[in-house]
Structure 1
Amino acid sequence: MVATPEKLDSTHERSPSQQRVAVLLMGYGEVESYEDFANYNEQALNLLTAKFAPVPTWVYPPLAKLLALFDRHEWGHQHHDFISPHNAIFEKQRAGIEKDLQAKWGEGVQVFKAFNFCAPFLPKQVLAEIKNQGFDKILIYPLLVVDSIFTSGIAIEQVNNALSEIAEGDEHWVKGLRYIPSFYNEPAYIDLMAHLVEEKITADLASAYLPSQIGIVLMNHGCPHKAKGFTSGITESQILYDLVRDKLIYRYPLISVGWLNHDTPLIEWTLPNAQQAAKNLIQLGAKAIVFMPIGFATENHETLLDVHHIIHALEKKHSDVNYVQMPCVNDDPEFLYMAAQWANAHINELLSEETVAINPQLSVAHHHHHHH
């Protein structure tokens, strides 16, 4: 791609109508109708699993249907027709972040939500709407998983595909673009995670257990060790865990990372998983276990159903232990405020920088410039 700066306007001040940025808040999305399971699974297999599992693509449609049967059994029969609250929570996050951003920037900054796997909020659908509303500057902001370029990378993949489809003519409609890959090392987020755990322990456990008898499992999004060369998020997630642990360990010695893995055959996942982490802490003398999701910002079936299964399995063998399942930050006003703060510098850059005209046609002409 070749970028050519447009001529500067004669006036330095932009009119209010030009001061516009679309913040594209991205999450997974989760099914709200069991009929959508197969379609959801097929998209997830194509976008996620394909990057680390040695599975041929022709297997995806039948595999997606098979997985849908398991999903329907788990959500429908085992969990009394469970419907994920993820999408509703994500909308509250979108609205809350937009409210905080508009308090600073006015209505020229709007927050749009996109789901990786759920229509009618697929990135291509939402980007078409952003274009139709006249926005030409975009801040891509993955929010659900607090790891890295891997899960956030699928957001970029979908955005790139959508922008290629929506492009028309010899000048691209997008004039400015920024990206927030993760907030795994943001001090405000680290402090909030530790504070929420301490608050829960004080309210529910401190009067009955010594601090050394309270085990804390800080749960991260599971990561495959080998992902066809992709950076899989282990490094960032490990740093996140270390930073939160360091805030708590002097008061509560029994702390472990617990990875919420998708136990896929033939794949080496991060260890210990959340269940093994709890077992290890019980062996070291924990009489109560707190499960806190630090690697997820939004509640979803992993943080709800998977953790429920883990606790149920542990109760069978260690019925004398007290188990506490904590929620994600979700629409906690303190979290929404800090999430808006992380966007401010990027919005400021987008509003103040000189617009750049991208001509997609020029990229084709440069393909054959190398010498044999």
Structure 2
Amino acid sequence: MKGILLVNLGSPESPEPQDVKKYLGEFLMDERVIDVPLWARNLLVKGIILNTRPKASAAAYKKIWWKEGSPLIVLSERLKTKVQKQTESPVALAMRYGSMTIKKGLQELVDKGVDEVLLFPLYPQFAMATTETILVLAEAIQKEHFPNITLESVPAFYNKPDYIDVLSQSITKHLEGVQFEHLLFSYHGVPERHIRKRDITKSHCKIDGKCCSTPSKAHEFCYRHQCLEVTRLVAEKLQLKSGSYSTSFQSRLGFDPWLQPYTDRTIERLGKKGIKNMAIVTPAFVSDCLETLEEIAMEGQEIFHEMGGKQFTTIPCLNDDEEWVLLLSKWINKWSKTNVLSS
């Protein structure tokens, strides 16, 4: 019997500092998030970050926390519920970090008689700190606790035409009646070294402005290329004029070079340039979360207004949008019937 495990990032149990500290500890100690030797990661995370950041992060979570709980969890659960209504195979939901573990999600499916699992990381683009860490952990859990089930995973779907259609429709819907001079595509940032580490050619990814637009096998695991490709494909779909849109990267940490241009500085630059009305979309996320609701919708808007901007329109993630639900369900149903993933 086949079943599907949707996996998202995760969330603290509450916006209180002690729960945020616990969550950050698990998240930041992941060797694929902060990919430095264990001694250095311990020093950075346990010695510095967990003694300074939880209080500020908790304050940020409190700004966006819903009565039902964490927005990311609530929205992911809504998505799972809607998808389950469109599919015959059992669907479970898990998080990479926090109490909604992958092990619990797999156990839920096994208890329903599932022995073939489609692991569906809810990330359009591949990255070490998102898709890869989910796949590696899920495989380890399967081998140790569920040796009688098989796992198959959904590859990055950033360039699938039907995904681009759904994303473009969502952007169009939320910009209806909105006058904007610039549309910013903001993606979660990663250190530049992550890009080079996952270059399967060991030579292509130079992050020089040309490599991401030059065909290469490296693009299969290149987060930067995949982000730029989403922007390009959506811009073509929406017939955006050159200069009316751009790409940036948010949420950097530490002092190492991260993917640029940075979102906060891009918003600042656009405001200084005289742009009065801008819109921003965050296609690295399928569910709204701290990084979209607080960092972009609140902090980003504040920066824009400080620079003289007037209207700052944030476009929601796909969340449980009906077209997104139908697309996910179509992909799942195709796999359930044919063992073929979306093409």
TM-score of the superposition, structure 1-length normalised?
0.75
Distance 1:267 1:54 in 2: 17
Please say if 1:204 is aligned against 2:204: no
Residue of 149, 153, 158 corresponding to 1:179:
153
Indicate whether 1:49 and 2:33 are aligned: yes
Distance 1:329 1:252, change over 3 A: farther
Tell me by how many angstroms 1:49 deviates: 2.5
> In structure 2, how many angstroms separate the alpha carbons of the residues matched to 1:235 and 1:259?
13
Query: Given that residues 256 and 277 in structure 1 are in contact (C-alpha distance below 8 angstroms), is that contact kept between their aligned partners in structure 2?
Result: no
Quick one: structure 1 residues 123 and 273, their matched pair in 2 at CA, closer, same or farther if it must change by over 3 Å? same
Find the counterpart in structure 2 of residue 118 from structure 1: 98
> Taking CA–CA contacts closer than 8 Å with sequence separation of 6 or more, which of the two structures ends up with the larger relative contact order?
1
| Distance in 2 (alpha carbons) for counterparts of 1:298 and 1:238 | 20
2:107 to 125, 128, 134: 128
2:197 to 223, 229, 232: 229
> Are the counterparts in 1 of residues 271 and 307 from structure 2 also a CA contact under 8 Å?
no
Q: Which amino acid aligns with 1:343?
A: I
Measure, in 2, the Cα distance between the counterparts of 1:317 and 1:37.
32
Identity across the alignment (%): 19
RMSD between aligned alpha carbons? 2.5
Q: Give how far 1:28 is off.
A: 0.9
- For structure 1, the 5+ residue unaligned runs are 1-19, 103-108, 206-212, 352-372
Is the contact made by 1:131 and 1:173 (CA closer than 8 Å) also made in structure 2? no
Of stretches 131-140 and 187-196 in structure 1, the one that deviates more from structure 2 is 187-196
Instruction: Tell me whether 1:258 sits opposite 2:248 in the alignment.
Output: yes
Mapped to 2, the partners of 1:41 and 1:98 lie a distance apart of 31
Deviations 1:279-319 (A, max 9, x none): 44445553210011222110110011100101112211214
Distance, in Å, in 2 between the alignment partners of 1:289 and 1:53 is 41
| 1:98, distance to aligned residue in structure 2 (A) | 1.5
Where 2:197 maps in the other structure, the secondary structure is coil
Give the Å deviation of 1:30. 1.2
Post-superposition shift, 1:343?
2.4
- Larger Rg belongs to: 1
1: CA distance, partners of 2:39 / 2:255: 10
Deviations 1:72-91 (A, max 9, x none): 23334xx3867631101100
For 1:243, give the aligned amino acid: L
Match of 1:333 in 2: 322
Give secondary structure in 2 for the equivalent of 1:50.
coil
Count of residues in correspondence between the two structures: 308
Aligned partner of 1:27 in structure 2 is 8
Letter in 1 for 2:190: C
How far did 1:182 drift? 2.1
Residue 304 of structure 2: aligned partner: 314
Task: Output the TM-score relative to the length of structure 2.
Answer: 0.81
Structure 2 Cα separation of the partners of residues 224 and 281 of structure 1: 24
Moved more, 151-160 or 129-138: 129-138
- CA deviation digits over 1:313-370, x for unaligned, max 9? 2211214x3111121110011111011222233323449xxxxxxxxxxxxxxxxxxx
Match status 1:189 vs 2:140: no
Native 8 Å contact 1:297 1:330 kept in 2: yes
How far the C-alpha of 1:217 sits from its partner, in A, is 0.6
